[in-house]
Chain A
Amino acid sequence: MNRILAKRQLSDEVFLMKIEAPLIAQERQPGQFIILQLDTDFGERIPLTIADADPEEGSITIIFQTVGNTSHRLAAMETGDAIENLLGPLGHPTDIRKYGKVVCVGGGIGVAPLHPIAKAMKEAGNEVTIIIGARNRKLVIFEEEMGRIADKLIVCTDDGSYGRKALVTGPLKEVCETWNPDLAVAIGPPIMMKFCAETTRPFGVHTLVSLNTIMIDGTGMCGGCRVTVGGETKFVCVDGPEFDGHLVDFDNMMLRLGTYTREEEADHHACHLDLALEEDHGNA
């Protein structure tokens, strides 16, 4: 049984959950993810990164943003509830070793999947600069945790309500100019990763990005997660989720993410109606 051991709301739309999953906690490595499903008959399977794990306690931590039906329903669950289906750890682990100087860039919810990677990079003896960005102050997450890892931490917001008023690509460019990093890791919305890759390209800094395509099985069986990398088709769930950002066809990937937008919106709408109805009943 995958019980929820703890739940914390990090911002309006972002939640942290610690879930009982002893085997996954033992085997997981930075960069890997799980797929969960809330009900066996009709639920959707959604991928989420393992943000942290505690093998002794037998737990993993996920951090997620409420975007559609499943993430909203997950956010409505409480400590003690069980998640029906949880599969993992999936994907190729990050290649953690001593590169020298590593700059880690996290945008929005992307800071969560970045956390275990940054931590492992630091533990492997790298010097680590971390840039975290969010739309506004309320959406900044994991600042404290990242601060503990980073040799240098830069926080910025789009609207300037906290930290520097900038997009992450601003400080990233400066870091490339002045610090000469050996590796960049960028995780966040596809558009952010695309521009991070464009920013590092002229400096020749190898750049890893972690792709969040649509998935079903997460085991290489369906091909729904495929992307074009360097002109070749790759499956994100088994070949990735990390790829060389300079080779990814982000435009195609972003369009493909919208494949089901119309249907998802209808479902999301229905789910909000359900939740609203439940609240009504709760109040009655």
Chain B
Amino acid sequence: MHDLKHLDAEAKKLMMELEGKTLKPRERAAIPPQEMPAQDAQKRIGNMNEVARGYTEAQVRLESMRCLQCKNAPCIKGCPVEIDIPRFIKHAEDGKFAESLAVIKESSLLPAICGRVCPQETQCQEFCTVGKMLKDVNKAVSIGRIERYVADVELHGGNPIMPEVASPTGKRVAIVGSGPAGITAAADIRKAGHEVTIFEAFHKPGGVMVYGIPEFRLPKAIVEYEINNLKQMGVEIKTNFLVGRTRKLRDLIDKDGYNAVFIGSGAGLPKFMHIEGENLIGVLSANEYLTRSNLMKAYNREHAHTPIFVSRVVGVLGGGNVAMDAARTAVRLGAEKVYVVYRRTEKEMPARVEEVAHAKEEGVEFLLLQSPKRILGNEKQQVRAMEVLSYKLGEPDDSGRRRPIAIEGSERELPVDTVIVSIGNDSNPLLEKTTEGLATNKWGNIIINDDCSTSIDRIYAGGDIVLGAATVILAMGQGRKAAASINALLASESGD
């Protein structure tokens, strides 16, 4: 069904019929939504390669024809960085991919990444007129897939558009963290001619995009490509540097002479459920499991020195993207059976629809309206089972989602040998603890003003450390905003 050759042939046939015709809106909406070609499920569970292979040229042009070029363009307000969606899609329809990408790059720095990982169905595509006409958000114009296609054209040998860097201002800015927020802020600040240094705790830059999101969803080569572009712009990247420990945050300004700092340190503190048995052997956070596999390349058992837990039956707790990534990684690492255990129903699951569908195709089994009460171990304190409790949905809570209510007496044992806890991340408290006067809220998120400034003069923040675990595009959007504020601050001070 997702076979590339077949999908391409169908698209070409239809293209021949439609090319050159002036289409009415009804006719555009009648074009079948283009399926994403994907690796066959049976094959892909044996490798780490990207699952979604990307549209073919005929497909991307057909999908672009589905766009009605709405005057009011409701899709734009669904995009956190307000990409001019109809305009880039129009160029793609005409096969002018470089022009199309140029439109996207006016607003977004990382289209190849966002085109892959944005939760489009709750952002741009949620508001799409075509989706509304067809009464199904999954039949909206596939804005993200088109975005990915035009971005990939550049990656695959097109001419990269190098942003221009203004002449040196003599000012220096430090960036903490090299995730999407940090990368974006660095690029925008560098463009204004300031010197920029990124400090990254890990040995590789990229943030969650390299240590969390797996290769089969976001190839690491793409992140590396973006990092290389940054370096070519003259941004310096210092890895193995933990701000707060290697150097105190304030010292970057007071002792090292940086004129401003942007904090994009992410939300890296794994939540646990605080239930009995959580420290048994075989209970891991998704962060640990995914970091071992992605960043440390433990899936490559032949070359990597970092081991990874060998599992037969895995229970993944949670229903977000992180849970899907952990479950699908476990499948690829050879688990015989993988369950996703989630308290609510599929409708409430925060994971992207595409990831849930892919997980199912790969044999992951969803145990919905269930939650573990405790984890049971054997005499060697190794996990042997989870005791799960069934739930039903009650009244909506503050978040508007219906609250799950435990059904008393419904406990049962689910035999598993591994439990991967993927119930989300809080903010890492390290910077707060080592920096006097850095204001945070009760979840440990840094508090910012409208211009992304923090409680400390010259220090700005954005991304997950401010928003809590959010999305790549939101982190990017905040990186942009903070960069604009920092650039304005520095410009106002260069009055000599």
A→B interface (CB under 8 Å): 23-24, 27, 37, 40-45, 69-70, 84-90, 216-217, 219-224, 226-228, 233, 238, 249, 251-252, 255-256, 258-260, 262-264, 267
Assembly CA distance A251 to B278 (angstroms): 15
Main secondary structure of the interface of A (DSSP, over half): mixed
Q: What are 18 of the A-B contact pairs (CB < 8 Å)?
A: A23-B241, A41-B303, A42-B303, A44-B296, A44-B304, A44-B305, A69-B305, A70-B305, A87-B240, A219-B428, A220-B269, A223-B285, A223-B287, A227-B279, A233-B274, A255-B381, A263-B308, A263-B310
Do residues B307 and A226 form an inter-chain contact, with CB atoms below 8 A? no
Do residues B307 and A263 form an inter-chain contact, with CB atoms below 8 A? yes
Assembly CA distance A70 to B296 (angstroms): 14
Do residues B240 and A222 form an inter-chain contact, with CB atoms below 8 A? no
Any chain A CB within 8 A of the CB of B471?
Answer: no
The answer to whether residues A224 and B288 also contact, given A87-B242, A263-B310, A264-B307 and a CB cut-off of 8 A, is: yes
Q: Can you list, as one digit per residue, whether each of B264-288 has a CB less than 8 Å from chain A (1) or not (0)?
A: 0000111010100011011011011
B→A interface (CB under 8 Å): 201-204, 239-242, 245-247, 268-270, 272, 274, 278-279, 281-282, 284-285, 287-288, 291-292, 296-297, 300, 303-310, 380-381, 428-430
Assembly CA distance A224 to B296 (angstroms): 14
Q: Which listed residue (B203, B247, B284, B288) contacts A37, Cβ 8 A?
A: B203
Residues of chain B with a CB closer than 8 A to A267's CB: 305, 307
Residues of chain B with a CB closer than 8 A to A89's CB: 245-246
A38 to chain B, nearest CB (A): 8
The interface centre, meaning the residue of B296, B303, B306 with most chain A CB atoms within 10 A of its CB, is B306
For the complex of A and B, 3 pairs with smallest distance between CB atoms: A263-B307, A221-B268, A222-B288
The answer to whether residues A88 and B268 also contact, given A224-B288, A255-B281, A256-B279 and a CB cut-off of 8 A, is: no
Do residues B288 and A219 form an inter-chain contact, with CB atoms below 8 A? no
The answer to whether residues A220 and B203 also contact, given A252-B381, A255-B381 and a CB cut-off of 8 A, is: no
Q: Which listed residue (B204, B296, B300, B309) contacts A259, Cβ 8 A?
A: B309
Main secondary structure of the interface of B (DSSP, over half): loop
Residues of chain A with a CB closer than 8 A to B270's CB: 221-223
Do residues B288 and A252 form an inter-chain contact, with CB atoms below 8 A? no
Least CB separation from B300: chain A residue: A42
Do residues B309 and A219 form an inter-chain contact, with CB atoms below 8 A? no
The answer to whether residues A27 and B285 also contact, given A44-B305, A45-B306, A267-B305 and a CB cut-off of 8 A, is: no
Assembly CA distance A166 to B381 (angstroms): 32
A261 to chain B, nearest CB (A): 9
Do residues A258 and B281 form an inter-chain contact, with CB atoms below 8 A? yes
Do residues B269 and A86 form an inter-chain contact, with CB atoms below 8 A? no
Assembly CA distance A24 to B201 (angstroms): 13
Least CB separation from B284: chain A residue: A224
Do residues B245 and A260 form an inter-chain contact, with CB atoms below 8 A? no
Least CB separation from B288: chain A residue: A222
Residues of chain A with a CB closer than 8 A to B239's CB: 85
The answer to whether residues A226 and B279 also contact, given A41-B297, A86-B240 and a CB cut-off of 8 A, is: yes
Do residues A27 and B245 form an inter-chain contact, with CB atoms below 8 A? yes
B286 to chain A, nearest CB (A): 9
Residues of chain A with a CB closer than 8 A to B296's CB: 42, 44-45, 216
B199 to chain A, nearest CB (A): 11
Residues of chain A with a CB closer than 8 A to B380's CB: 255
Residues of chain B with a CB closer than 8 A to A88's CB: 242, 245-246
Assembly CA distance A262 to B288 (angstroms): 18
Residues of chain A with a CB closer than 8 A to B285's CB: 222-224
Do residues B279 and A252 form an inter-chain contact, with CB atoms below 8 A? yes
Do residues B246 and A216 form an inter-chain contact, with CB atoms below 8 A? no
Q: Which listed residue (B201, B247, B281, B300) contacts A219, Cβ 8 A?
A: B201
16 A-B pairs besides A224-B284, A224-B288 with CB distance below 8 A are: A27-B245, A87-B201, A87-B203, A216-B296, A217-B268, A219-B242, A219-B428, A220-B430, A221-B268, A221-B270, A221-B287, A221-B291, A222-B291, A227-B279, A233-B272, A255-B380
Do residues B297 and A222 form an inter-chain contact, with CB atoms below 8 A? no
Residues of chain A with a CB closer than 8 A to B282's CB: 259
Assembly CA distance A84 to B291 (angstroms): 19
Do residues B307 and A221 form an inter-chain contact, with CB atoms below 8 A? no
Assembly CA distance A216 to B293 (angstroms): 12
Assembly CA distance A85 to B405 (angstroms): 48
Do residues A259 and B306 form an inter-chain contact, with CB atoms below 8 A? no
Residues of chain B with a CB closer than 8 A to A87's CB: 201, 203, 240-242, 246
The answer to whether residues A40 and B204 also contact, given A228-B279, A233-B279 and a CB cut-off of 8 A, is: yes
Assembly CA distance A217 to B203 (angstroms): 10
Do residues B279 and A85 form an inter-chain contact, with CB atoms below 8 A? no
A167 to chain B, nearest CB (A): 26
Assembly CA distance A224 to B430 (angstroms): 17
Residues of chain B with a CB closer than 8 A to A219's CB: 201, 242, 268, 428, 430
Assembly CA distance A258 to B278 (angstroms): 16
Assembly CA distance A283 to B305 (angstroms): 27
Do residues B291 and A217 form an inter-chain contact, with CB atoms below 8 A? yes
Assembly CA distance A77 to B428 (angstroms): 35
The answer to whether residues A220 and B268 also contact, given A40-B203, A43-B305 and a CB cut-off of 8 A, is: yes
Q: Which listed residue (B268, B272, B304) contacts A42, Cβ 8 A?
A: B304
Do residues B246 and A85 form an inter-chain contact, with CB atoms below 8 A? no
Residues of chain A with a CB closer than 8 A to B247's CB: 23, 27
The answer to whether residues A221 and B309 also contact, given A42-B297, A85-B239 and a CB cut-off of 8 A, is: no
Assembly CA distance A86 to B245 (angstroms): 13
Assembly CA distance A133 to B132 (angstroms): 75
Do residues A217 and B281 form an inter-chain contact, with CB atoms below 8 A? no
Do residues B288 and A223 form an inter-chain contact, with CB atoms below 8 A? yes
Do residues B269 and A221 form an inter-chain contact, with CB atoms below 8 A? yes
The answer to whether residues A260 and B309 also contact, given A42-B304, A89-B245, A216-B291 and a CB cut-off of 8 A, is: yes
